Amino acid sequence: EDFAETLRVVEQARFASAFTFQYSIRPGTPAATMPEQLPKEVVQERYDRLIALQERISAEDNAALVGTAVELLVQAEGRKKTGRKTGRARDGRLVHFRPEGALDGDIRPGDVVTTTVTGSAPYFLLADAPVTSHRRTRAGDMTAAGKVPTTEPIGVGLGLPSVGAPAPSQTPADACGC
């Protein structure tokens, strides 16, 4: 069965996290007219099993990181009542950390810090140990100045769509523009 194979792959791959969605019929798609559609109850039960498996794997893998050093790209201020800030580890894991310890001034979104993981949950890590290093960055400078960092466009787009309004076409100066 396809679903059993999906569970096997998830178990073997041990993804740090997974964004999963329930299948639903989309009008105009080939799948919408396929016979033997699964009842909503079966879809929900399979979704619940898949989420439970991924939560178990994430919780186990995150718990194994307790006591290890982690480098973070600071993302944002955390909740005021906890006094934490939020960052992302190199592998994309969400980490809530205390902005205390070896600091080079204020920690700003865009800066890089290193700290130690002290706790875990399926969807995030906690780092309540002191920061052991803090590197100020140009992105942090831009954040402090209220500017949005930009990156020059890459020459090869790989055919992927871009976000935003299309660039205006270049019209030669001697053209009528019609």
> What structural domains does the chain harbor?
2-63 (no CATH), 69-144 (2.40.50)
For residue 55, give the 3-state DSSP assignment: helix
**pLDDT exceeds 80 at position 168:** no
φ and ψ at residue 89, rounded to 5 degrees = -75, 170
Closest C-alpha to 60, from 98, 6, 11, 7:
11
pLDDT tens-digit readout, 3-22: 999 999 999 999 988 888 88
Q: Which residues contact 76 (CB under 8 A, 6 or more apart)?
A: 85, 86, 109
- Cα distance between residue 122 and residue 139, in whole Å: 29
Place of tokens 């105009």: 28
pLDDT tens-digit readout, 36-55: 888 889 999 999 999 999 99
φ and ψ at residue 143, rounded to 5 degrees = -60, -45
pLDDT band at 175 (very low <50, low <70, confident <90, very high): low
What average pLDDT score do residues 82-107 get? Answer: 91
DSSP H stretches of helix in 27-171: 40-63, 138-144
pTM greater than 0.85 (yes/no): no
